[in-house]
C-alpha cells in the first residue's frame, strides 16, 4: 500500500495521481488524518488489505501533500551510517550503534517545498531513507523489527553546517532543524510493496547534477538493526520517524566544499517510493 497525507487527510493511493479517502471508504472507522491511523495500524492494515475495486475519489495535487507522519512524538536521525560518508566526514565507520541525534518536529515538511536558507550559513543536503514506526516497540530484536515498521519514505536531513559545528560542542539538533529542514514524502510505502526493503537505490541531484547515489544495502546498520538498537534504550511510538543516514556526496565532504545556493533545486529519489523536491530561497525574500 501507498498512503498519502493529502490536504491533511489519509488517502490510500490507487496511482500517483489518484486515491481513495480512507475515512470515507471506512465509513468513519479510520482517519481522517494520518496520525490516527498509526494508533490503530494493525487494524487499519487488516481492513485495507480486504479492500478491492474501490473507485478513486481523490485527485492527487502534489502541492497539498504533507509529511506521511505529520505529528511524530519522536524523530531520530542517524549519523555515519554509510562507510563512505563516515570516511568523507573524517570518522571511522561505527562498529556499534552510530551517533543518534534528533530533528525537532517543527522542521518537518511535505515532499515538495520551498526552503529558506539561513543567513550566514552553509546549507547542505543529505538524502535519507526514512522508516516510520507502526506500533510501539521496546527491546525489539532485529529479526522481528520489520513487523514494527509501518512503511518507508524519502527524507532530506537538510543541515546548516555553521550552526551545527559551532563550538564548544556540535549542535546537531539545532543545525538540522531550521524550518523546512525535514521534508519527508511523497507518501508512505508499506514494507510488503518492496521485493527487498533492505536494498533500494537512493540518490539526489542539485540543479540537475547528481551529488549522491548509493543503495540502502550499504547501510552499516539496516532498518531492523536500527530498530533493535534504538528500542533497547527508548520506546519507539507509532508514527515516530527514523532518518536512517546518508550516503557519501554531501557538500561538506567535497573538495572544494559545495553548499546550496539561492535559486537551486534539490531532487531526492528512492527506488520504489518516488521523489521529493526542495527549492531554496535566500533569507528575507
* Residues 253, 157 within the same domain: yes
Beta carbons of 156 and 140 less than 8 angstroms apart? no
How many domains is the chain partitioned into structurally?
Answer: 2
What pLDDT, on the 0 to 100 scale, is given for residue 88?
A: 64
Domain that holds residue 86: 67-282
The angle formed by the CA atoms of residues 155, 161 and 164, to the nearest 5 degrees, is 90
pLDDT tier at 8, thresholds 50, 70, 90: very high
- Tell me the average pLDDT across 186-194: 97
Report the range of poorest mean pLDDT among 13-17, 93-97, 101-105, 201-205: 93-97
- Average pLDDT for 188-202: 97
What does pLDDT average to over the chain? 94
* Residue for grid cell 510505502: 189
pTM for the full model? 0.95
Both 216 and 85 in a single domain?
A: yes
pLDDT above 90 covers what percent of the chain? 84
CATH number of the domain to which 107 belongs? 3.90.850.10
Beta-carbon contacts of 10 under 8 Å, excluding residues fewer than 6 positions away, are: 3, 4, 21, 22, 23, 30, 31, 32, 33, 34, 36, 37
Return the C-alpha cell found at 141.
530484536
Residue-level pLDDT at 172: 87
208: cell is 540537475
Amino acid at each position: 500500500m501507498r498512503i498519502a497525507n493529502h490536504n491533511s487527510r489519509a488517502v490510500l493511493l490507487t496511482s500517483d495521481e489518484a486515491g481513495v479517502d480512507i475515512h470515507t471508504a471506512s465509513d468513519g472507522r479510520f482517519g481522517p488524518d494520518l496520525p490516527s491511523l498509526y494508533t490503530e495500524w494493525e487494524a487499519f492494515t487488516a481492513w485495507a488489505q480486504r479492500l478491492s475495486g474501490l473507485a478513486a475519489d481523490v485527485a492527487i495535487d502534489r502541492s497539498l501533500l504533507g509529511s506521511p507522519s505529520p505529528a511524530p512524538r519522536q524523530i531520530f536521525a542517524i549519523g555515519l551510517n554509510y562507510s563512505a560518508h563516515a570516511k568523507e566526514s573524517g570518522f571511522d565507520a561505527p562498529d556499534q550503534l552510530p551517533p543518534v541525534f534528533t530533528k525537532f518536529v517543527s522542521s518537518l515538511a511535505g515532499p515538495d517545498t520551498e526552503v529558506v536558507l539561513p543567513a550566514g550559513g552553509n546549507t547542505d543536503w543529505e538524502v535519507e531513507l526514512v522508516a516510520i514506526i507502526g506500533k510501539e516497540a521496546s527491546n525489539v530484536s532485529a529479526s522481528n523489527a520489520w513487523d514494527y515498521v509501518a512503511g518507508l519514505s524519502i527524507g532530506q536531513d537538510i543541515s546548516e553546517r555553521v550552526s551545527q559545528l559551532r563550538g564548544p560542542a556540535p549542535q546537531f539538533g539545532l543545525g538540522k532543524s531550521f524550518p523546512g529542514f525535514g521534508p519527508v514524502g511523497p507518501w508512505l510505502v508499506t514494507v510488503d510493496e518492496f521485493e527487498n526493503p533492505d536494498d533500494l537505490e537512493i540518490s539526489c541531484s542539485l540543479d540537475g547534477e547528481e551529488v549522491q547515489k548509493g543503495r540502502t544495502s550499504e547501510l552499516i546498520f539496516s532498518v531492523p538493526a536500527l530498530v533493535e538498537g534504538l528500542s533497547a534504550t527508548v520506546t519507539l511510538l507509532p508514527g515516530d520517524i527514523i532518518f536512517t543516514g546518508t550516503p557519501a556526496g554531501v557538500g561538506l565532504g567535497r573538495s572544494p566544499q559545495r553548499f546550496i545556493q539561492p535559486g537551486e533545486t534539490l531532487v531526492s529519489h528512492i527506488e520504489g517510493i518516488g521523489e521529493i523536491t526542495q527549492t531554496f530561497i535566500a533569507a528575507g525574500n
